[in-house]
Each structure stands twice: as structure tokens, then as C-alpha cells.
Amino acid sequence: MSTEPKPPATANPYRDEIVISWPELHRDARYLSHVLHQLGEWKGIIAITRGGLVPAALVARELDIRLIDTVCVVSYGAAEGGGAEQRQGELRWLKTVSGDGAGWLLIDDLVDTGRTAKAVRETLPKAHFAALYAKPLGRPVVDTFVKEFKQEKWIYFPWDIDYQFVSPIKSRRGK
């Protein structure tokens, strides 16, 4: 019998959120690059679109990697708005790469339930999977990551957010 943790059964398992700033993401990508550099030479990077594109560019700069490819996978059936329901849809492939991934870095921003990472690993079993952030359900699927967040934490990446006015705490209703 499998002892693997199961995804939460509720429709929206995210009870908390965190906003990652550009400087924090950049710092974390530099740290990831340091770790990956220690592991040896890489043939190239395969970014998992779309979230893996920015960290892949930052790692490529640090490790002087010019050969960059993509695997393109989409969660269908998701509601609009970038919320937790994005984790529910069916996975569909738009593009993959040939070979078994040996010597290549697979890069994504986040391993959440691990569903995307598992699907990508099945097609490229010998690639090294690196992500900036991981949650407990996804952690077993990733080889290298920088920070772990609770499963219930929804992560807003810098490209998801904007600067805007926020009312002082004391003036807010329902405080």
C-alpha cells in the first residue's frame, strides 16, 4: 500500500498566502545557481513553462548556459484569476523534448502538489529537477530546491502582482 501523502480533498486547500518580491526571487535564484554549480556541468536547461522561464533565465546567466529548451504543459479546466483552482485541471502537453534528459537541468518556479513535476519527470527521467520553491507534497519529486512552504500557502510570484495603495490597518473594517 502506498504511503505517499495525498493532496487535500477540499476544493480550495489554500488558507494562507505569501508574496515573493523580485529581489527575493533573484536572491533565491542565485542561491539555486550556486547549488547547481557545485553539482557539476550541465548540457543545458529545460524550462517548464511558464513559471520556470524566469528562474531558468537567471540560472542560465549565472552558470553561463546558452542552450535552453522548454517543455510546455498546461493545466486545463482551471477557473480564471490565478487562484488555487489552477491546481485542479487536466494536464495537457503542448511541447516536450526528445531524449531522456541526462545531463540537463529541468527548472520550474514551484513544485506544489508535484503533479506537473511527476509528468515531466516521466518524459525526462534522467534530468535533474530544480525548483525555487517546494511544498511537502511536491518535495519528493524535486532534486534541488531553495525554500519550502506549507502546503496551505498560496505563493504569489512577482509577475502575478502589482504595487497598489493599501489602507492603514487601523482604518480597515473587520479588523
Give the one residue of 104, 108, 130, 154 binding ligand PRP; rule: CB under 6 A: 108
- Look at residues 161, 105, 107 and name the one whose alpha carbon lies nearest to residue 131: 107
Spatial CB neighbours of 33, under 8 Å, sequence gap ≥ 6: 58, 59, 62, 63
Catalytic residue among 64, 69, 108, 162: 108
Catalytic residue list contains 109: yes
Provide the Cα torsion 79, 85, 86, 92; round to 10°: -80
How many C-beta atoms surround the C-beta of residue 160 within 10 A?
12
Binding flag, residue 111, ligand PRP (CB under 6 A): yes
Amino acid (one-letter) located at 72: C
* Sole window of 37-45, 94-102, 111-119, 167-175 interacting with ligand PRP (rule: CB under 6 A): 111-119
Quickly tell me which residue has 480564471 as its cell.
Answer: 80
Binding flag, residue 84, ligand PRP (CB under 6 A): no
Spatial CB neighbours of 41, under 8 Å, sequence gap ≥ 6: 103
Binding flag, residue 142, ligand PRP (CB under 6 A): no
* Sole window of 32-40, 43-51, 94-102, 145-153 interacting with ligand PRP (rule: CB under 6 A): 43-51
Quickly tell me which residue has 486545463 as its cell.
Answer: 76
* Sole window of 21-29, 42-50, 63-71, 167-175 interacting with ligand PRP (rule: CB under 6 A): 42-50
| Residues binding ligand PRP: number (CB under 6 A) | 18
Binding site for ligand PRP (CB under 6 A): 48-51, 75, 86-87, 108-117, 138
